[in-house]
C-alpha cells in the first residue's frame, strides 16, 4: 500500500468508527493514528473493488458471448429449416454450457459468502 496516497473518505470514516468503538469518543489510550487504520481499511476496500471489477469484466464477456449466440443467423448462413434447426440447437447448447459454467464459477466465489 502506498502510504503517500491518503486513504479515501469511506476508509477514514470506518477507521474513526473502529477506534471510537475501542477507545471511546475521546480516543484516550489510542497509540495509532486514524490515518494508519484507514490505510489498512482502504487497502482492503481497493482489493475488494479490484475483485468486483474483474468479475464484472468476466460477466460482460459472458453476456457478449450469449448475445452473439442468441442473434439469429442470416438467411445466407442457412440453406433450409433442417440446417437452421441444427444451428439453433448448437447455439442453445453453447448458451446452456456458458450459463452453467458461469453459475458454477459464481457459486465458488468467496464474495457474499459468510465467513466460516
How far apart CA 42 and CA 37 sit, in angstroms, is: 9
CB-CB contact of 22 with 4 (8 Å)? no
88: Cβ–Cβ under 8 A, 6 or more apart, which residues?
Answer: 73
CB-CB contact of 9 with 1 (8 Å)? no
Reading the block at residue 104, the C-alpha cell is: 458454477
How far apart CA 86 and CA 77 sit, in angstroms, is: 12
Q: Give per-residue pLDDT as tens, 9-34.
A: 999 999 999 999 999 999 999 999 99
Residue 28: strand, helix, or coil: coil
Residue-level pLDDT, tens digit, the chain, 116 residues: 445 688 999 999 999 999 999 999 999 999 999 999 999 999 989 888 888 898 899 999 999 999 999 999 988 888 899 999 999 999 999 999 999 999 998 888 776 566 65
Amino acid at each position: 500500500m502506498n502510504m503517500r496516497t491518503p486513504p479515501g473518505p469511506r476508509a477514514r470514516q470506518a477507521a474513526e468508527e473502529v477506534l471510537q468503538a475501542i477507545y471511546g469518543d475521546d480516543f484516550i489510550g489510542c497509540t495509532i493514528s486514524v490515518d494508519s487504520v484507514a490505510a489498512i481499511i482502504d487497502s482492503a476496500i481497493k482489493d475488494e473493488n479490484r475483485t468486483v471489477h474483474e468479475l464484472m469484466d468476466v460477466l460482460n464477456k459472458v453476456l457478449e458471448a450469449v448475445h452473439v449466440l442468441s442473434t439469429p443467423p442470416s438467411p445466407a448462413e442457412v440453406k433450409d429449416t433442417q440446417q437452421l434447426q441444427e444451428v439453433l440447437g448448437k447455439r442453445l447448447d453453447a448458451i446452456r454450457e456458458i450459463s452453467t459454467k458461469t453459475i458454477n464459477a459464481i457459486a465458488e466465489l468467496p464474495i457474499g459468502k459468510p465467513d466460516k
